[in-house]
């Protein structure tokens, strides 16, 4: 196998021997208990997976500790899932209970498998990124604290996937999660003309705008924004620090519902807008926690077994979804881009 210093290493180099030996031959899997899954191969080999929630932003101590546990109980093999769970992969059944006991002793939550809530996939938030309209880890902590029992039990109607992206450029999975928390800006970037002419490349700034809202302003050696075309995405700020978009009063959160990646029963679905705006209210974001809690509660009471949030809404209809959750339906829920004021979609720039 050739080696380069570009990209991730070949995944086959890191597979546990039992997975390599039984590759393509797994016959079925079953949930042994919350957080524990058993895969059985045609050869009769059994692989046990124990899933543990992680806060995503983890310390070196945490990494050392889970690596020590993996060395002791599963020949050093573990993996991170795309939703930031840690999965220990065990080839010996006799190690399952001792590892569960060790995890309990250290206070690590075991769960997230089957009809349970998985860890929340989320983005960088105020810790790291430059365009967030809200935080990531802070809200995720508050929401997960509220929904924690659904991680450690398998008593939901179906899987529950919750995601957070701190801006609509969206490094998270908000387009395809049952419930999505999305940071939104609501004001046009503020141009600092003096600074822009010194620190930004004007053609790059213009090209960065997905709605072609930015045009040159030769007199000022700067740019101007057509405010009606701006969708407050912050892409221009990514390219140019003189296009500040953060706004402590007007930035906040939208909640979307009904997305899924899975092909089971029905095809994948995109999430759709449920709540257009909730305020940023750190450190515990009570409005967001309450809104997510309410949607989950009504879904649990109303959904049939196996029905994901989007499938439940499709069955009862959006009108009943708004009625039963008590979420007000407003003009913000109507996608009227084409028929209202001239916008990107009604211009010659709209090509699809």
One of 58, 102, 171, 202 touching ligand SF4 (CB under 6 A): 171
For residue 172, the minimal CB distance to ligand SF4 (Å) is 6
**Does residue 252 bind ligand SF4 (CB under 6 A)?**
no
Q: What are phi and psi of 184, to 5 degrees?
A: -130, 135
**Does residue 123 bind ligand SF4 (CB under 6 A)?**
yes
One of 232, 277, 318, 322 touching ligand SF4 (CB under 6 A): 232
**Does residue 225 bind ligand SF4 (CB under 6 A)?**
yes
One of 209, 288, 298, 327 touching ligand SF4 (CB under 6 A): 209
Nearer to ligand SF4, 124 or 280 (CB): 124
For residue 59, the minimal CB distance to ligand SF4 (Å) is 20
> What is the torsion angle, in degrees rounded to the nearest 10, for the CA atoms of residue 30, residue 32, residue 37 and residue 42?
-50
One of 100, 213, 278, 296 touching ligand SF4 (CB under 6 A): 213
Helix axes 286-302, 137-147, angle to 10 degrees: 40
For residue 262, the minimal CB distance to ligand SF4 (Å) is 23
Which segment (59-67, 89-97, 234-242, 277-285) binds ligand SF4 by CB under 6 A?
Answer: 234-242
DSSP string, 231-257: ----HHHHH-TTEE---TTT-EEEEEE
For residue 132, the minimal CB distance to ligand SF4 (Å) is 4
**Does residue 235 bind ligand SF4 (CB under 6 A)?**
yes
Among residues 192, 99, 175, 112, the alpha carbon closest in space to that of 144 is found at: 112
Specify the 3-state DSSP secondary structure of 159: coil
Q: What are the residues whose beta carbons fall under 8 Å from the beta carbon of 236, sequence distance 6 or more?
A: 189, 205, 208, 209, 214, 243, 245
Nearer to ligand SF4, 181 or 257 (CB): 181
DSSP string, 109-151: PB---SSSBPPPEE--GGGT-SS-SS-SHHHHHHHHHHHTHHH
One of 89, 236, 257, 296 touching ligand SF4 (CB under 6 A): 236
Contact 125, 135 (CB under 8 A): yes
**Does residue 207 bind ligand SF4 (CB under 6 A)?**
no
**Does residue 167 bind ligand SF4 (CB under 6 A)?**
yes
One of 22, 208, 222, 325 touching ligand SF4 (CB under 6 A): 208
**Does residue 222 bind ligand SF4 (CB under 6 A)?**
no
For residue 350, the minimal CB distance to ligand SF4 (Å) is 14
For residue 164, the minimal CB distance to ligand SF4 (Å) is 9
Among residues 156, 176, 114, 157, the alpha carbon closest in space to that of 306 is found at: 157
Helix axes 318-325, 286-302, angle to 10 degrees: 120
Burial of 281 (0-12, 13-18, 19+ CB in 10 A): middle
CA distances from residue 67 to 70, 71, 79, 201 in whole angstroms, order as listed:
5, 6, 10, 46
**Does residue 271 bind ligand SF4 (CB under 6 A)?**
no
What does the DSSP 8-state code read for residue 18? H
**Does residue 165 bind ligand SF4 (CB under 6 A)?**
yes
Q: Residue 226's CB: how many other CB atoms inside 10 A?
A: 16
Helix (H) or strand (E) holding 172: none
d(C-alpha 71, C-alpha 189), whole Å: 51
**Does residue 143 bind ligand SF4 (CB under 6 A)?**
no
Which segment (167-175, 289-297, 304-312, 313-321) binds ligand SF4 by CB under 6 A?
Answer: 167-175
**Does residue 124 bind ligand SF4 (CB under 6 A)?**
yes
**Does residue 166 bind ligand SF4 (CB under 6 A)?**
yes
Nearer to ligand SF4, 143 or 209 (CB): 209
Contact 52, 62 (CB under 8 A): no
| Sites of contact with ligand SF4 (CB under 6 A) | 123-124, 129, 131-132, 165-167, 169-171, 189, 208-209, 211, 213-214, 225, 230-236, 245
């Amino acid at each position: 196998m050739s080696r380069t210093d570009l990209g991730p290493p070949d995944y086959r180099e890191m597979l546990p021997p039992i997975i390599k030996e039984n590759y393509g031959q797994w016959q079925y899997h079953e949930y042994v208990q919350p957080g524990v899954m058993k895969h059985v191969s045609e050869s009769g080999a059994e692989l046990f997976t124990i899933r543990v929630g992680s806060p995503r932003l983890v310390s070196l101590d945490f990494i050392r500790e889970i690596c020590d546990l993996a060395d002791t109980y599963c020949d050093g093999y573990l993996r991170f899932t795309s939703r930031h769970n840690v999965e220990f992969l065990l080839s010996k059944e006799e190690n399952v209970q001792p590892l569960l006991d060790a995890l309990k002793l250290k206070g690590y939550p075991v769960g997230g498998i089957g009809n349970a809530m998985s860890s929340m996939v989320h983005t960088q938030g105020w810790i790291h990124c430059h365009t967030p309209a809200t935080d990531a880890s802070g809200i995720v902590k508050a929401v997960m604290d509220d929904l924690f029992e659904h991680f450690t039990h398998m008593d939901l109607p179906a899987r529950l996937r919750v995601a957070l992206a701190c801006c609509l450029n969206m490094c998270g999975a908000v387009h395809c999660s049952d419930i999505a928390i999305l940071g939104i800006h609501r004001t046009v970037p503020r141009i600092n003309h003096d600074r822009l002419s010194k620190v930004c490349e004007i053609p790059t700034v213009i090209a960065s705008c997905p709605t072609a809202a930015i045009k040159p302003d030769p007199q000022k050696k700067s740019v101007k924004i057509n405010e009606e075309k701006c969708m407050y995405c912050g892409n221009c700020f990514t390219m140019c620090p003189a296009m500040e978009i953060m706004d402590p009063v007007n930035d906040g959160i939208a909640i979307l519902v009904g997305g899924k990646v899975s092909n089971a029963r029905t095809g994948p679905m995109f999430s759709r807008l449920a709540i257009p705006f909730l305020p940023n209210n750190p450190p515990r974001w009570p409005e967001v926690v309450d809104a997510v809690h309410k949607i989950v509660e009504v879904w649990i009471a109303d959904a049939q077994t196996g029905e994901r949030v989007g499938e439940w809404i499709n069955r009862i209809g959006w009108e009943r979804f708004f009625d039963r959750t008590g979420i007000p339906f407003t003009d913000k829920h109507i996608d009227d881009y084409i028929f209202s004021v001239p916008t990107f979609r009604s211009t010659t720039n709209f090509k699809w």
